[in-house]
Amino acid sequence: MAREERNIIGFTVALVSEFALRFGVQPRQAYAYLKRFKGMEHLRDHYGVLHTQSFPDTVDVLAQVCLNNGGQLR
């Protein structure tokens, strides 16, 4: 596995964990929510920018993306 792929995976795992902590859900639930409401798609498409922001800011962005796509977590 290339170094960049490991970085992306590590960032994604950490971000899902932070999202789960923020909203008081299990990481598996956070991942399912992000996937269902297009947060994971947004993360994949905009990783180049998102990984340069703080975790709290990135969680805010993903939460807003999910809200815009029908999610209910606030």
Instruction: State the pTM of this model.
Output: 0.92
Task: For 1-53, write each residue's pLDDT tens digit.
Answer: 799 899 999 999 999 999 999 999 999 999 999 999 999 999 999 999 999 99
Write out the two tokens for 19.
């999202």
What is the per-residue burial (b if ≥16 Cβ within 10 Å, else e) of 13-30? eebbebbbebeeeeeeeb
Q: What pLDDT sits at residue 25?
A: 97
Instruction: Identify the sign of the CA torsion 34, 22, 44, 10.
Output: negative
